[in-house]
Structure 1
Amino acid sequence: MADHSTNFLVFPHQNMDTKISAEPPFEETYKALINSKSINVEDMEVKAIAEECELPLIDLGMLKHGESDSEKCKAQIAKASQEWGFFQVVNHGISQEIFQNMRREQGEVFRKPFHEKDMCFPPGAYRWGTPSATCLKQLSWSEAFHVPMINIASRNGITSLSSTMEHFAATVSGLAQKLAEILAEEMGQESTYFKENCVPSSCYLRLNRYPPCPISEISGLMPHTDSDFLTILHQDQVGGLQLVKDGKWFAVKPNPEALIINIGDLFQAWSNNVYKSVEHRVVTNKQVERFSTAYFLCPSYETKIQSCMEPSVYKQFSFWEFRQQVQHDVKKLGYKIGLPRFII
């Protein structure tokens, strides 16, 4: 909520007893940013109303319909990855029951008392807000469990969630490998690279929750690109995901039947800029919480990322070097630079 009489951002009064039960302490932690007189609404990047768009919709069932349909489907996947960096798929092999179970159990684990959430999975899995934020436009009003695939079974008293996560992740990881293989083949490249380097021990599942936020200028997730090869996302019907295309922000219309796929930085580098890692964000909702589940196809830290075509746009780098550079930039600047750091 913006108090336009003073042009400073303010929060409405809230009941403290309600806040301490489950919600992260956003207001207390970022009080200095919120109340700072140096933060002026007119100086911030106020979000324009984004036009709603339908992402390219691809029926993966075509892959089983014969060579002609299969090749058409593969071409659609490659084209969307080049032109949008995002697309959505149906007939992906994951049942609505799994989605429904995931949504229900996500709600339950996020409603645990705040001080108990970091004990649900191994240390470091629970995250919220933006510790490095130096201004409100760098703040992400969200919380998440970012869980390595090998740690999904390491839980404290949430067996049903772990079982659902394992089922979801096992199916989605197979889909991610298949899509990576198709994208490589469409460039005339060998596809064993992803199977050899993106193993379960290096991939992640992330459970996201975006609480209601009274200030529209704050993002649920600040603009960024993903630092992986591929991300597979299932979002609920609240909406809020937005992406950049042709220099404009577009709001992605939710589709209950579809999974959203987006190209990450590593695939853009590997494909020598053929496939695009596109900036995206999540906008907040003042009344309704939003949930999503994301799977990240990542290599081991030692994996070398090198463009598969010449002349190469990017110098060779390891995933560890990339992550270290991203973390350094975020800590120093408050935001990610990413691939431009590695251009030759």
Structure 2
Amino acid sequence: MADAAIPTVDLSPFFNELNEDGKKKAKEVISQACSNYGFFQIVNHGVPLALMNRAMEVSKAFFTYPEEEKLKCCPGSGAPLPAGYSKQPEHSADKNEYVLMFPPGSSFNVFPTNPPEFQKIVEEMFTYFIKTAQLLESIISECLGLPPNFLKEYNHDRSWDFMTALRYFPATETENNGVSEHEDGNLITFVVQDEIGGLEVRKDGQWIPVTPIEGTLVVNVSDVIQVLSNNKFKSATHRVLRSKGRDRHSFAFFYNLQGDKWVEPLSQFTTEIGEPPKYRGFLLKDYQALRMRNKTHPPSRPEDVIHITHYAIST
């Protein structure tokens, strides 16, 4: 039987150099969460609550505008993903619209001009998210027993991070899918939910709701961490369900790896401990291209959707 809630971790000890006991306990919880769920929540993470609330307000305001106004923030060209405003295609099983943004200063960004403060607020939150992700990256590196700064040096390019502001349409009598069940293809993901909720994570065949708590960031480790750790840490399957009669709003931040990086199980989890690698190596951009094709040309059969298991080595 799966637990009824994913773990919550207090990150305040990592802002206090003297609280070694608190750091140790937090790392134990994170290690267990990454091994068992791939998901956990964090509090006292350093991202100001007032900023998170204001970002949610301007996002909600943007999505209330008429379609012609939203289309002024059209996808940019040349980006690894379509920056700016987009809506899921009609044939998609997912029912949402979103604004996709890259790090502040990126030439790929196409920000809404209304509300006027949208760009300033979102860029500020983006900067905080990067700092928090870097902290978690170092904690996860320690939890895995990797050399100091190993993941930081491996993943030093922040230009491939991105964030989405999302609006999910209300459920209908026949459809309640917001985002189909999937795993994330990056390293670490943050989610900020509004009070509607809807995010669920699968464990032991059951779907566990992730209850919204003000000021909390939902964290999941993703496919790259799963491959590097040779399945020691899990990239959990999750989905979003829509509510009847109510929009759902959220932000998702993707702490990502540069596309030309080679990804394969690390020797610390294979040859050094006598374990066979569970995945063959690949360029991240090749995997991202396969995942994008899942969206642009959805397979007719669910079993044909590309997951990280595409690179799994048969035993």
What TM bracket, shorter-length normalisation?
0.7 to 0.9
- TM-score, normalisation: structure 2: 0.85
Residue aligning to 2:146:
189
Larger Rg belongs to: 1
Query: What's the CA shift for 1:216?
Result: 4.8
CA distance in 2, matches of 1:55, 1:172: 21
1:155 to 100, 103, 111: 111
Q: What does the per-residue CA deviation read over 1:312-340, in whole Å, with 9 as the maximum and x for residues that have no partner? A: 11111111111122234552515532111
Deviation for aligned residue 1:218? 3.5
CA positional deviation for 1:66: 1.9
Q: State the SS of the aligned residue for 1:53.
A: coil
Query: Structure 1 residues 314, 90: closer, same or farther in 2, change over 3 A?
Result: same
2:120 is the alignment partner of 1:166? no
**Residue 248 (1) aligns with residue 201 (2):** no
Question: Per-residue deviation at 1:185?
Answer: 1.6
| Total equivalences in the alignment | 289
1:91 aligns with 2:44: yes
Q: Distance in 2 between matches of 1:283 and 1:332?
A: 19
Alignment-mate amino acid for residue 221 of structure 1: V
- Give 3-state SS (helix, strand or coil) of 2:208's partner: strand
Q: Hey, what does 1:126 align to over in structure 2?
A: 85
Residue segments in structure 1 that go unaligned for 5+ positions in a row: 1-50, 134-138
Matched-pair contact (CA < 8 Å) for 2:101–2:109: no
Deviates more, 1:165-174 or 1:149-158: 149-158
Letter paired with 1:69? G
Change (3 A) 1:329 1:212: closer
Query: Superposition RMSD on alpha carbons, in Å?
Result: 2.1
Shift in alpha-carbon separation, 1:198–1:209, aligned structure 2, 3 A: farther
2:176 and 2:243 in contact (8 A); partners too: no
Question: Which secondary structure state, in structure 1, belongs to the residue aligned with residue 167 of structure 2?
Answer: strand
Bigger shift: residues 259-268 or 216-225: 216-225
Deviation sequence 1:93-150 (CA, Å, 0-9, x none): 11221111111100121122213323226523322224553xxxxx111111122222
Deviation at 1:213, TM superposition (A): 2.5
Assess if the C-alpha contact under 8 Å between 1:206 and 1:293 holds in 2.
Answer: yes
Match of 1:142 in 2: 96
Q: What aligned pairs does 1:193-232 form with structure 2 within 5 A after superposition?
A: 193-232=151-190
Distance (Å, rounded) in 1 between the aligned partners of 2:225 and 2:200: 20
Per the alignment, do residues 157 and 192 of structure 1 end up closer, same or farther by CA in structure 2, a change over 3 Å counting?
A: same
The answer for unaligned runs of 5 or more in structure 2 is 77-81, 271-275
Task: Determine if contact 1:204/1:296 at 8 Å carries over to the other structure.
Answer: yes
Please tell me whether the aligned partners of residues 112 and 118 of structure 2 are also in contact (alpha carbons under 8 angstroms). no
* Cα distance per residue 1:156-176 (max 9 Å; x no partner): 524411111111111111111
User: Contact conserved, 1:305 with 1:316, CA < 8 A, in 2?
Assistant: yes
State percent identity of aligned pairs.
Answer: 26
- 1:153 and 1:162 in contact (8 A); partners too: no
* Cα distance, 1:52 vs structure 2: 9.5
Q: Distance in 2 between matches of 1:111 and 1:180?
A: 36
Equivalent residue, structure 1, for 2:56: 103
3-state secondary structure, aligned to 2:201:
strand
The answer to whether the aligner puts 1:233 opposite 2:198 as a matched pair is no
The residue type paired with residue 115 of structure 1 is E
- What is the CA–CA distance in structure 1 between the aligned matches of 2:110 and 2:298, rounded to whole Å? 33
Cα separation, 1, equivalents of 2:3 and 2:242: 16
In structure 2, the partner of 1:342 is 311
CA contact (8 A) 2:10 2:26 kept: yes
**Larger displacement relative to structure 2 (151-160 or 81-90):** 151-160
